[in-house]
């Protein structure tokens, strides 16, 4: 970035203005009325604050006002956003938490909770659509090759992020991963499905191997896990595949 001191006067004023808006400890342009600067400071900050509070309602609810505003102001001052799109600010906020934020008093689950809350927003605004020329909507995901909806994401977390609230603030990760499917249904409503490790593995294999039927993938999981009763696992998996099709997580089979 160019040195502001070498720029024309009007551009130096822009740098001073932006630096002060991001961090009021930086001096404001000398010839701008303080009352006007106060209006700009409040307007810009409130826009960011409102966007983040709406995108991360659980995080906002478990932090007191001082903690929340200190974090938002640190993000506002420290993070260099790489997008001009307002709707993408929450994703920038996650990058800030992951790569730049350094606060020993933060909840240990802060990053995972932020990601989980962002997923709900990302799926709500996603415009991804499947190629319907390659999908049979009436196909049976057990006997055919399952096709996962592009707005259904399988996620794994060390903390039970879908349960966190003021009344549940875990201090340590769980012994077992929390596996979730977050998805958007045909009415564009967002839901989550709490799944076990077997279902999580099934979803991973469906995404990885688009040559095998649901039955073949379940057989592979039974062998992989050395499951003592493979027919029971396969029959249970058949029911799960149909349930996910009913929910819109699986939208049919590949042709």
Q: List, as one string, the DSSP characters of 113-155.
A: HHHHHHHHHHHHH------GGGEETT--TTTS-EEE-TTEEEE
Residue 65 has pLDDT above 80, yes or no: yes
The pLDDT-based confidence of 43 (bands split at 50, 70, 90) is: confident
CA distance 123 to 135: 21
Name the least confident of 9-23, 142-156, 188-202, 232-246: 9-23
Cα torsion 213, 219, 222, 226: sign: negative
Residue 4 has pLDDT above 70, yes or no: no
Nearest-5° Cα angle at 145, 184 to 124: 10
The pLDDT-based confidence of 242 (bands split at 50, 70, 90) is: very high
Q: Which of 29-33, 42-46, 99-103 has the highest mean pLDDT?
A: 99-103
Other CB atoms within 10 Å distance of the CB of residue 94: 16
128-255 CATH choice from 3.90.930.50, 3.30.70.120, 3.40.462.20, 3.40.50.720: 3.90.930.50
pTM of the model: 0.86
Q: In sequence order, which residues have a C-beta less than 8 Å from that of residue 83 and are 6 or more positions away?
A: 89, 91, 92
Residue 45 has pLDDT above 90, yes or no: no
Indicate the domain borders of the chain: 128-255
């Amino acid at each position: 970035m160019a040195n502001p001191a070498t720029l024309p006067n009007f551009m130096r004023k822009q740098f001073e203005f932006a630096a002060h808006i991001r961090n009021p400890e930086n001096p404001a342009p000398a010839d701008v009325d303080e009352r006007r600067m106060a209006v700009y400071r409040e307007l810009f900050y409130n826009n960011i604050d409102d966007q983040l509070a709406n995108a991360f309602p659980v995080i906002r609810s478990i932090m007191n006002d001082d903690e929340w505003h200190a974090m938002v102001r640190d993000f506002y001052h420290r993070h260099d956003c790489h997008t001009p799109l307002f709707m993408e600010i929450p994703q920038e906020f996650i990058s800030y938490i992951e790569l730049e934020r350094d606060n020993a008093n933060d909840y240990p689950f802060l990053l995972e909770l932020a990601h989980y809350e962002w997923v709900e927003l990302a799926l709500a605004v996603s415009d991804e659509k499947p190629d319907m020329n390659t999908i049979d909507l009436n196909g049976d995901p057990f006997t055919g090759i399952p096709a996962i909806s592009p707005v259904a994401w399988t996620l794994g977390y060390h903390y039970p992020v879908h349960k966190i609230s003021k009344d549940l603030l875990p201090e340590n990760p769980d012994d077992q991963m929390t596996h979730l499917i977050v998805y958007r249904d045909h009415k564009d409503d967002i839901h989550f499905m709490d799944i076990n490790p077997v279902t999580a593995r099934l979803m991973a294999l469906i995404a990885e191997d688009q040559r095998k039927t649901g039955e073949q993938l379940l057989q592979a999981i039974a062998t992989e896990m050395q499951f003592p009763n493979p027919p029971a696992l396969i029959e249970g998996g058949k029911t799960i595949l149909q349930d996910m099709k009913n929910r819109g997580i699986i939208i049919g089979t590949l042709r």
